[in-house]
Structure 1
Amino acid sequence: MRGRPMGMRKSAVLLISAVLLAGCSGTDEAAPPPASSPVAKPATPTPTPTPTPTHRKLKPGAKGPDVEELQRRLKQLHYDPGKIDGKYGPSTQMAVWAFQAVNRMKQKGTLGTSFWEALADPEEPRPMAKKREKDRVDVDLKRQYLVVYKDGAPRLITHISSGSGELFCTEDRGCRYATTSTGDFRTGRRFSGWETSPLGRLYNPIYFNGGIAFHGALSVPRDPASHGCVRMPMHIAEYFPDLLGANVPVHVRRPR
C-alpha cells in the first residue's frame, strides 16, 4: 500500500493537536463566575427626635389642662394646691411659692420654661437641723415654707407667713417686734376651730413656742406679715392637726 503524501501527514498532526488543545481550554468548560459587585446596605433611617413637651406660660387667673397638670404634679410632690380644677387661684399660687422657695427660684408671677423644667426634676427640701427626727416639722423663715416629715419623708410642704419684724403695741403687753424666734421646740396645746387671741383670730392653732402657733389665716401673703405666729393657707389648716401629732419636734431656722 502506497504511503500518504507528506503534506497530508502534517495536516493530520495539526488537526489532532488542535482537538487535544480544545479539550483543555475549550468553551465546553464552565467559565469562572464574574467577580460579584458589592451589595449596597440599606440606608439606616434617621431616628425621629422625641419632641420636648411644651407648656404655655401660666400666671394667676389662668385656666385649662396645663393648670390641671401643674396642680397634679404639685400634689404628687406634696405641695398642696387645693382642689384639682384647672384654675390657677390663690391656693395654687401659694403651692407654687413653696415650690419656688424650696428650689431656690425667683418667685415670678409667670411660670415659664425654667419652672416646668424644675417641676420635672425637683430638689428635695434642705433639713433645718442636724438632728433629723423621722417625724418633725422644719420651718425655713428666710424662704417662708415649712415641711412636715412623717417616717423620714416629706408629707407636706407649704407656704407660710411668719413674723413681719415690725414694731407693734398692745394695751396689756406694751410694744414689741413681730418676730418668729428660731430654735428647737415641740408641739403643745391646740384648739379646734377659730380661737380669738389678743392679736387676732387663729384657725386650728397648734402652739409650739409659748404663744406662737401654726394656724390657718385668711391672709397668707408671700412675705412675712404675722405678729410672730406661722400662718398657713386655710385649706391646709383644715387637716393640719390630723397630720401633726402632739410633742412633735419643730426646728425653726433662718438659713443662708
Structure 2
Amino acid sequence: MRVMHGKPAHGVGTAVGKRVLGTLGAVALTVGLLSACDGGEEPPADTATTSSPSPEESTPGPEPSAEEQEPEASASEPSSEPSGDGADESDGTAKPGDDKGDDESSEGDGTSQGEGKPDGKGGDKDPKEEEPEKPDYIEYGEVSARVGKLQQRLQDLGYFVTSVDKAFGGETQQAVFALQKAGGLYRDGVVGDATRNAADDGVVPKAQTSSGKVLEIDIDRQLVLAVENGKVVKVINASSGNGETYDAKGATYTAYTPRGSFAVFREVNGMHSSTLELGDMWRPKFFTGGIALHGSASVPAFPASHGCVRVSNGAMDWIWDTWGAPSGTPVVVY
C-alpha cells in the first residue's frame, strides 16, 4: 500500500521515520477493516427463509433448493427473495463485496467477480433448473407427444378414441376409464404405472357372444362392447343403474339395470326427454321397457343412472352413424 505525504521531507531521518510510521498506520488500518468484515456474527441458520408453495396435487414440482445463507456485506439480514417456482436456486457463490473490506475490489478491469461469466456464478440461473419436472403420470389437461402415443395405443386396442390430437380431454379420459375397468384397476382416469402397463400389455375384455353383431353390456365392469362374430371391435366406458331408490311422479322405483338377453325395439334419433321426468337422453336405443342405451354428457366411472345405460354422446353417435345398431340388434346384459 503506497503512503502519500502532503509535504516534502526535511531530511533523510525525518523521511524514513515518517515512511515507517505511515506504513505501520496503514497496516493497522487494514487490520481494523478486515476485523470489521470478518468479526461480525453471521445470522443463525434459521434466519434464512425459504418460500416454496405447496405443490399442486396433480402436478408435483421439483423439491425447492435451500436458500443462500451468506448475507451481502451491505445487508443486515439475509435475502429471501423467491424464484419463479418458490425456491432460490442460487449456486451459493459469494457476490462482489462479500469478502472485501476496502476498495481493492474496484481495481483491475472494472468487472465485478462472476459478472457476465457463462458459468452462472454472477447470479444467472440455468433455465433448465426452473422448468418443473414432468410427472410420471398422465392426466386430464395434458397436451404432449406422450398423450398422442397413449391415444394411438388405446385406439389400436379398440377403445373409443376418435382423434389422436395429443390433448388429454374428455374422450381420452373416458377411454382410460374403460381400460382401467377392463384391467380391474382403480378407476381414476389417471395413467400411472399400472394403467400404462395395461395398455402396453394389450388388456382388452373378451366377448361373451360368438356370432352376429351384438351390443354387450358388462354390468360388473361398467362397459359396453360392440361385438362382431365374437370379436370386440369397440370398448366404451358406461354407467348403469346405481341400485338406489328414487321417486318419480308419485311412485317409487329402484335404479336397476336388468340382466339378460334383449334386443333393440325402439330408437329415437335425437334428444329424448324421460317420461318420468328424469332428464334427457341423447339418441336412445330402448331394449327393455323404459331402459335404453343412450348418450349423456355425464358418464362417470361408476354406476350413476336411474337404470338406463349411459355412454358419451360421441360414442352414441358412433353406434348410430358408423357401427349401426338398428331395431332388432341383440343386446346382452351380464
Q: Residue 174 of structure 2: SS of its match in structure 1?
A: helix
Residue equivalent to 1:113: 193
Residue equivalent to 1:204: 283
Q: Distance in 2 between matches of 1:226 and 1:110?
A: 23
Q: Report which stretch shifted further, 139-148 or 116-125.
A: 116-125
Q: Distance in 2 between matches of 1:178 and 1:108?
A: 24
Structure 1: give runs of 5+ residues left out of the alignment. 1-54
Q: Residue 300 of structure 2: SS of its match in structure 1?
A: coil
Asked whether 1:152 is paired with 2:233, we answer: no
Cα gap change, 1:181 to 1:112, in 2 (>3 Å): same
Return the match for 2:294 from 211, 215, 229: 215
RMSD: 1.8
Return the match for 1:191 from 268, 284, 294: 268
Return the match for 1:177 from 250, 254, 261: 254
Q: Based on CA coordinates, which of the two structures has the bigger radius of gyration?
A: 1
Residue equivalent to 2:245: 167
Q: Which digits, 9 at most, give the CA deviation of each residue in 1:18-76, with x for residues without a partner?
A: xxxxxxxxxxxxxxxxxxxxxxxxxxxxxxxxxxxxx9420112110001111111111
Q: Distance in 2 between matches of 1:220 and 1:108?
A: 13
Asked whether 1:72 is paired with 2:152, we answer: yes
Contact 2:264 2:331 survives alignment (8 Å): yes
Q: CA deviation at 1:109?
A: 4.3
Q: Distance in 2 between matches of 1:115 and 1:170?
A: 40
TM-score (normalizing by structure 2): 0.55
Q: Residue 238 of structure 1: SS of its match in structure 2?
A: helix
Cα gap change, 1:200 to 1:62, in 2 (>3 Å): same
Asked whether 1:91 is paired with 2:168, we answer: no
Q: Residue 232 of structure 1: SS of its match in structure 2?
A: strand
Q: Report which stretch shifted further, 203-212 or 105-114.
A: 105-114
Q: Distance in 2 between matches of 1:186 and 1:206?
A: 9
Q: CA deviation at 1:149?
A: 0.6
Q: Distance in 1 between matches of 2:263 and 2:230?
A: 17
Q: Distance in 2 between matches of 1:237 and 1:206?
A: 9
Asked whether 1:62 is paired with 2:139, we answer: no
Give 2:245's aligned amino acid. Answer: L
Return the match for 1:123 from 200, 203, 209: 203
Q: CA deviation at 1:158?
A: 0.3
Q: Residue 222 of structure 1: SS of its match in structure 2?
A: coil
Residue equivalent to 1:137: 215
Give 2:171's aligned amino acid. Answer: S
Q: Distance in 1 between matches of 2:204 and 2:316?
A: 23
Q: CA deviation at 1:207?
A: 0.8
Q: CA deviation at 1:127?
A: 3.4
Q: Which digits, 9 at most, give the CA deviation of each residue in 1:177-196, with x for residues without a partner?
A: 11101111111111111011
Q: Distance in 2 between matches of 1:202 and 1:110?
A: 28
Q: Distance in 2 between matches of 1:156 and 1:109?
A: 18
Q: CA deviation at 1:120?
A: 1.9
Residue equivalent to 2:181: 101
Cα gap change, 1:203 to 1:108, in 2 (>3 Å): closer
Q: CA deviation at 1:110?
A: 3.1
Contact 1:160 1:230 survives alignment (8 Å): yes
Q: Distance in 2 between matches of 1:127 and 1:239?
A: 19
Residue equivalent to 1:249: 330
Q: CA deviation at 1:102?
A: 1.2
Tell me how many residue pairs correspond in the alignment: 196
Contact 1:190 1:206 survives alignment (8 Å): yes
Contact 2:207 2:230 survives alignment (8 Å): no
Q: Which digits, 9 at most, give the CA deviation of each residue in 1:62-107, with x for residues without a partner?
A: 1100011111111111111343221111211111111111122222
**Which of structures 1 and 2 has the larger relative contact order (alpha carbons within 8 angstroms, sep 6+)?**
1
Q: CA deviation at 1:220?
A: 0.9
Identical aligned pairs, as a percentage? 32
Q: Report which stretch shifted further, 131-140 or 228-237.
A: 131-140
Give 1:100's aligned amino acid. Answer: Q
TM-score (normalizing by structure 1): 0.71
